[in-house]
Amino acid sequence: MPLDLARRILGKDKIIGVSVKTPEEAQKAVDGGADYLGIGSCFDTATKLVTDEDVRGPDGIRVTWEAALGAGKPGAVRAVTIGGINAYNAVHVLHRTRARSLGCRPLDGLAVVSAIMAADNPMQAAGVLRKQIKFALDESWVARQQSMLSKGDSRHSEEAVRQAVTDVFVKVRGADSDRPLIQHITNSVVTNDSANACLALGGSPMMATLDVEQKDLAPMVSALLVNIGTVDQEHVSGMHAAMREAQLHNTPVVLDPVAVGASGFRRTLVHRILRDFGVHVIKGNAGEIAGLLGTDEVKMRGVDSVGAEFADPVEAVRALSLRYRCVVVMTGKIDYVSDGITTYSVHNGDRLQGCITGSGCMVGTSVATFVQAVAHKDPLVGALAGVVAINLAAEHAARRPDVRGPGTFRQAFIDEMYNLTGDDIRREMQIRRLS
């Protein structure tokens, strides 16, 4: 029934909702006096027949939501999204559909059918879903970030961040009896190095990749690192299963999109990961960040970034962070870390890191090891702690008299990760706030 006809029949005091897909439909509905919108379809759903074109994903829902907000007075319309929503993806959807303007306003809720009605225990399913929605709107880092900003938060001043980074490092390193369990679904070239790095930095590595294990393992995992370096179909199934369970447990996920621009398969894989699951941190070199942004400003050859860097690296990491509602770490001669609002550069590190295989992958391990400690409070600080720690270890290793080249550096590198102290971090970190 058309909105204007429904309004004539029901009167001006009745609440009327309209189902919409596109920004144009949303604007028309708001202009016509709709009280709320049902925006869909977010994902594929079993309750109705939808085509690939109908599935808009969280980003498509956000664009329609922003159009609705822009069409009416602030607070004049409310909205939910529908289609394939469940307890696993609820937090991801509510994060990614927040409007980028108008105070980063979230949707007012989620519409579900099968997630409750098809559950073995509908009451329990509804309770879990309600808990996830509350977490997304009130307790997650995205919600906290907006709350802090509205209060004029100054926690990201350079001095405050230096202390916070040191505190995170000390907290993780002091947890010998309860080390964070860092699950790696990573490439076969660096598995051993990544596991040893995790141990040396204060974590406990687990290299479990089979999809059938993930449900049992998920409650124990502190952080999940997904690295697509040597990806195959078995790894893809394991990644999807692990990320699905991580969503349910609100476990931080670090994504290393190795060589994402090298093939259509890799581009599609990473696109689907980011659309369907979301992550807390994306860690990549300049070429990989360029690939995710869809620009050819920075070139890649295999897994390496080559040629000129970004003319404006701060804007690059900031833009990607805002697009995917996550912290972005871009590695290079200078590393950049951004949460979309605050951006820092890190000037620690040594050239020998670029002379061994897997040094970039070990950055991902370090970030996962430390970000889990503050993932729902301030993942920017956790990511900075990971980058600073591994780069300082490289500096210390390179200065050792027994290091004569890449081979001896690799062994010393792990040793110096283990030998790092909180005093080293506080005294030697070289960070600058850029925005």
**Residues acting as catalytic residues:** 361
> How many CA atoms lie less than 13 Å away from 432 in the CB half-sphere?
7
Q: What angle do CA 210, 216, 221 make, to 5 degrees?
A: 90
Contact 326, 281 (CB under 8 A): yes
Per the DSSP assignment, residues forming a β-bridge with 300 are 305
What is the C-alpha separation between 392 and 164, in angstroms, rounded?
17
Phi, psi (deg, nearest 5) at residue 223: -155, 150
**138 to 147, 332, 411, 416: CA distances (angstroms):** 9, 35, 45, 40
Tokens of 246: 């991580």
Sign of the torsion formed by the C-alpha atoms of 269, 274, 278 and 283: positive
Judge residue 67's burial from the number of C-beta atoms within 10 Å of its C-beta, 0-12 exposed, 13-18 middle, 19 or more buried. Answer: buried
**DSSP three-state, residue 90:** helix
DSSP letter (8 states) at residue 110: E
The alpha carbons of the chain give a radius of gyration, in whole angstroms, of 23
Judge residue 364's burial from the number of C-beta atoms within 10 Å of its C-beta, 0-12 exposed, 13-18 middle, 19 or more buried. Answer: buried
What is the C-alpha separation between 210 and 237, in angstroms, rounded?
7
Which residues lie closer than 8 Å to 216 by C-beta, 6 or more apart? Answer: none
Per the DSSP assignment, residues forming a β-bridge with 110 are 81
Where do runs of H (alpha helix) occur along 72-121?
90-96, 114-117
